[in-house]
A and B are shown apart, each in its own frame.
Chain A
Amino acid sequence: MMQKEIYLLPIIDIENLGLDAGAHLLVKYGLRAIPPGGELRVVGSSPGWETQLSAWCRAQGHGVSMLQQDGRLVATVIRGAADAGRWHGAAHAGHSDAALTGAVADQALSCWGLAARGATVEAGAPDIHFRLDRKDEIWADTAAVLYAQAVAAQWNPATAIDWNEPFDLPVVVEDAVVQLMTYLIENEVAALVVPARFLGQLHPHFREIQALLAIQVADEARHIEVFTRRLRLKGREPALSTAGGQASLKTLLDESDFSVAGFLLSVLGEGTFVSLLNFLQAHAPDPVTRQIARLTARDEARHVAFGMSHLLWRLQQEPQFRMRLANAVQSRNDALADTAGLNEEVFDALILIAAGEFTPQAIAAGYVRVQQLIADMAEGRRVRLERLGFEKEAALHLAALHTRNFM
């Protein structure tokens, strides 16, 4: 549409398109090609186009004049400085591709607000304060990869689990499953609420972390759904929730440091849960519970991987932070010293689940399996602690101090 006429001024023909129908776009893009103060000629044929153009130019801060030339009306638009002026002093908030040098800032600024990372942000945008605005507090280089894995591994509870597979458990064993599901639900609620709270405090500049936390929250919502559905499968209602169990979980909710919370919840708690879910996958008495355990364990393992990855990153920047982590385990242990620890009902339920039937022989076998589970859980914690750089002795000690409530 751009034409050159003999006077060499750029000219555009908006033809019969009115400015009440989008012709301003043709003029706007025409003006982009010339500097402020430069001139653009415009011709058109829709009725009243010149009146519309004058009104548009006035509102946009462009000058305009009309003259008759060779029997037709020609408008001369003089580009004003306002459209460019808006971006004077604008901020550039990193780059969208985290792999580029300097893409992710060490400190995200409040004036970047909700803007996409890499956007040009107009000066004067409102300050939006996010408490978690420092890269060293929250970052993990693996976040984008873990998020992609999480997206690919999402599963639909309605189809991924065969809810109609027939089974019939002894009443005491079904009772035990219901008790365990009740316990799992409240633990998963904590695992949902903790990242959800951080999610609302995280500067959106750290997009990869934001996405990973968001999908982690969605994972937990799905886990709560399937545990609830299994619990109700035989027409039951939830069983017991203990003061000690909730006191243990509350210490996770009370932790305000992102890294410490990730350490306690993901590395120690969800890590322990992976052992528990693997145990259920192997020993649960019914096929539905085994399927649920298999799928949820896979998600939980990803949450553990993020916690580990973030802590390895943070400890690399700040090795002395290891002391803070050790203190956190000790403090949590102290805070829970007066509580009962694992719900006795849950411990017994695990034995019955592993037993599968209510006979002395089966219970004996179940008891041994649960003892082995407790040992496996502690060993898993020790291995992860050593990977985080704790000496063997310290790792053993801290692994043993972990809450008896598992999460």
Chain B
Amino acid sequence: MAKPLLLGAVAYAPKVVTIWEGFKEYFRRHDFEFDYILYSNYERQVEAQLDGSIDLAWNSPLAWVRVDRMARARGLEARALAMRDSDRDLCSVLIARSGSRVATTEDLSALAGQVIGFGALDSPQANLIPRDHLRAQGLLAGRDYTARRFDELSGKHGDHIGGERAAALALMAGEIDAAWMIDGNYLAFAREGILPAGATRIVARSGSYDHCNFTLISGISAASGEMAARFTELLLAMDWQDAQVRPLLELEGLKAWLPGRTSGYDLLMRAVDDEKFYDAEGNILATDYRY
């Protein structure tokens, strides 16, 4: 048997096993040896990729920022091979109850003295980018507003949306004045009935950013460039019309795979610096971060 291309992924939910078993089966059907290792958190996965334990990683945007920095510090280059169509141009929204002071005032100064809900400490979409957004508007946690964190499954970089859901519930219960969430989750929570129709409104939105990607570090992975190219080719060939493949795409939340791009991470890189999460070489600075 040929040596398989080894992928690292984070087990943020039980469905992750189903997803990667399905991918393994798909690649096997196309005579491509593929296997995966699951990590309990992205920090461990990034370190494993740097020490050559895995060829490829399915990285959160925050893991991409770290692995990119760590690779550069070693004179290496990290590449984003592919991403989901749903990974591009996301934004985070700040939601308040309709009719509240925050929701009825045009500018963000109304947030002064209010309690704002954030997701997990390591969530790009519900903590880092939102804090950075408010900072850019001149609002600092602890000085201008009170931050309340809804921390669930630290180390998963916010993939587990439980933190955002808990913040939405707290908002409707009147425990907080506003809550940050990814734009898609705003609609999802409306469908779930957590956010009743018309009961909330968007009071702020972040700039656009990209989400996950398959990352390869040239010079570390034992896999040949040819293998990485074949992997990408097979991935991009996954067709929504194919009934065997569609359930996997549905589980992973995409309609089509797209070539990777790294132009959508600038906002997060700025947030990581401003919030002092990682340093320029990818070392963890956040002192209260447990994973």
Chain A residues with a Cβ under 8 A of chain B: 18-22, 24, 46-48, 51-52, 54-56, 58-61, 80-82, 85-86, 88-89, 122-124
Contacts and interface: CB of A to CB of B under 8 A. Distances in A.
B247 interface: yes
A60 B250 CA distance: 11
Contacts of B253: 59
A223 B244 CA distance: 49
A20 B195 contact: yes
B89 A54 contact: yes
B186 A55 contact: yes
A58 B85 contact: yes
B19 interface: no
Given A20-B197, A48-B93, A52-B183, A59 B86 contact: yes
Q: Lowest 9 CB-CB distances: which A-B pairs, in order?
A: A124-B243, A48-B202, A61-B255, A21-B197, A123-B243, A20-B190, A55-B183, A88-B241, A82-B255
A122 B17 CA distance: 24
A344 B46 CA distance: 84
Interface residues of B, number: 30
Interface string B182-208: 111011001000010110111001000
Name the residue among B89, B93, B187, B239 with the largest chain A CB count within 10 angstroms: B187
A86 B195 contact: no
A58 B90 contact: yes
Contacts of B240: 61, 81-82, 85-86
Given A20-B195, A58-B89, 14 more contacts: A18-B201, A19-B187, A20-B197, A52-B186, A54-B89, A55-B183, A56-B187, A58-B86, A58-B88, A82-B255, A85-B241, A124-B243, A124-B244, A124-B246
27 contacts: A18-B198, A19-B190, A20-B197, A21-B198, A24-B187, A47-B201, A51-B91, A51-B202, A51-B205, A54-B91, A55-B182, A55-B183, A55-B186, A56-B187, A58-B86, A59-B86, A59-B184, A59-B187, A60-B255, A61-B255, A81-B240, A82-B240, A86-B240, A86-B246, A88-B241, A122-B243, A123-B243
A312 B112 CA distance: 83
B111 to A, nearest CB: 16
A61 B85 contact: yes
Contacts of A21: 190, 197-198
Interface in B144-184: 182-184
Contacts of B50: none
B256 interface: yes
A20 B241 contact: no
Given A52-B186, A55-B184, A56-B187, A20 B243 contact: no
B132 to A, nearest CB: 18
Contacts of A89: 241, 243
